[in-house]
């Protein structure tokens, strides 16, 4: 009887705890990523440089490169520097822009990449996608998943609370993204990957019901794990499907129509809540609304400084941002008047006392 299986690419090591950065050199050696510290350390402004100094004793043969901006040009420039020496790995240290720049450059020149996150703003710390600015817009580029992921809660705690709150919104939005994927499977027979769904939903489910907050190590660990599982889910299925649905389409539309209205996580959290309402899932809507409110994340357009008309325009434009994706927005195909009506109902539902 044949045994059927598949190989799933996952990180060799995941270390989420306080003081994790101090053990980076040992982790690289123990996992046979780099026994002698022949690595390129990529840092961004802020905490990245501080961490580079902290790990220097254990990585004495490393080269340190500073990048800024999270642009495609910066990634290409970094890649040219990586060609000048044979490195065992690229160690990206910092926030999302720095890590995405390091991921892209490392993938382009086939060098293993280690992600050392100083913030938990999004699932880019573990995903096979690099979001980089280019020619006035932002593109998403396929890259290799990090070979190891380190999250030091000391540095996360020292960073801006708004970044961590954004990560909560990004992780919770996976619940809506998965529901959109299941809808596309049911309506259009789009292939769906059960393992990717399980990974993305499991992390978000743990987060939505967690009673802790930003000052709680257990909560921050759950958040980090949810973001990592979302990233691995994308690597498992080879697309962003388990972490990007109508919620992200709305966010992309807001970026185009009202740039700077909110962080990515704030926007996808709001988008996820509205899409959940459109699906008519009252139980999930109540759970998600309660979680977003508990952490002070936006639940109304006004919370982002947007008018109702601004949000309606974003919802109408959202499907154009990902023409290949089928979500609740494409399924309902609402016109302007219908979106206004549903938004009024949504706002009314938010005003009702929780049961």
- CA 171, CA 208: separation in Å to the nearest integer? 9
Residues of the chain with CATH 1.20.1090.10: 162-211+238-351
Q: What is the Cα–Cα distance from 215 to 234, expressed in whole angstroms?
A: 29
> In sequence order, what are the beta bridge partners of 148?
13, 114
How far apart CA 168 and CA 266 sit, in angstroms, is: 8
What's the pTM?
Answer: 0.93
Q: Mean pLDDT in runs of 10 for the chain (355 residues)?
A: 71 94 90 90 80 80 88 94 93 92 95 94 93 82 94 92 96 98 98 97 97 95 98 94 98 96 97 98 97 98 98 98 96 98 98 73
- Residue 170 sits at the vertex; the CA angle it makes with 51 and 102, to the nearest 5 degrees, is 40
CATH 3.40.50.1970: which residues of the chain?
Answer: 13-158
Helix (H, G, I), strand (E, B) or coil at 20: helix
Q: Are 301 and 307 in contact (CB under 8 A)?
A: yes
3-state SS class at 84: coil
Q: What would the CATH number be for the domain defined by 13-158?
A: 3.40.50.1970
Neighbours of 344 (CB within 10 A): 11
Give residue 291's pLDDT. 98
CA distances from 137 to 27, 322, 326 (A): 37, 15, 23
User: Could you tell me the CATH superfamily of domain 162-211+238-351?
Assistant: Dehydroquinate synthase-like - alpha domain (1.20.1090.10)
């Amino acid at each position: 009887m044949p045994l059927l299986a598949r190989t799933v690419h996952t990180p060799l090591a995941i270390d989420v705890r306080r003081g994790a950065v101090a053990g980076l050199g040992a982790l690289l050696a123990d996992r046979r990523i780099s026994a002698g510290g022949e690595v390129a350390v990529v840092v961004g402004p802020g905490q990245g440089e501080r961490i580079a100094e902290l790990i220097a004793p254990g990585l004495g043969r490393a080269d340190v490169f500073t990048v800024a901006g999270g642009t495609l040009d910066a990634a290409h420039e970094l890649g040219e520097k990586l060609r000048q020496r044979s490195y065992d790995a690229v160690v990206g240290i910092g926030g999302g822009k720095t890590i995405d720049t390091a991921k892209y450059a490392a993938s382009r020149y086939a060098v293993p990449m280690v992600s050392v996150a100083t913030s938990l703003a999004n699932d880019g710390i573990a995903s096979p996608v690099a979001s980089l600015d280019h020619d006035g817009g932002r593109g998403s580029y396929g890259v290799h998943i990090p070979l190891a992921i380190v999250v030091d809660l000391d540095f996360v705690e020292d960073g801006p609370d708004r970044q961590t709150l954004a990560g909560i919104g990004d992780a919770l939005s996976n619940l809506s993204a998965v529901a959109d994927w299941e809808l596309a499977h049911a309506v259009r027979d789009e292939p769906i990957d059960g393992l990717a769904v399980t990974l993305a939903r499991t992390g978000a489910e743990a987060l939505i019901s967690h009673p802790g907050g930003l000052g709680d190590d257990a909560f921050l660990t759950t958040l980090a794990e949810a973001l990592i599982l979302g990233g691995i889910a994308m690597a498992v299925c080879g697309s962003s499907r388990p972490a990007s649905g109508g919620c992200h389409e709305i966010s992309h539309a807001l970026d185009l129509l009202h740039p700077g209205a909110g962080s990515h996580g704030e926007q996808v959290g709001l988008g996820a809540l509205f899409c959940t309402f459109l699906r008519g899932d009252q139980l999930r809507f109540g759970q998600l609304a309660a979680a977003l409110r508990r952490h002070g994340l936006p639940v109304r357009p006004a919370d982002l400084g947007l008018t109702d008309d601004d949000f309606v325009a974003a919802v109408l434009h959202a499907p154009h941002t990902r023409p290949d994706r089928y979500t609740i927005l494409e399924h309902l195909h609402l016109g302007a008047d219908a979106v206004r009506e549903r938004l009024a109902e949504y706002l009314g539902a938010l005003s009702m006392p929780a049961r």
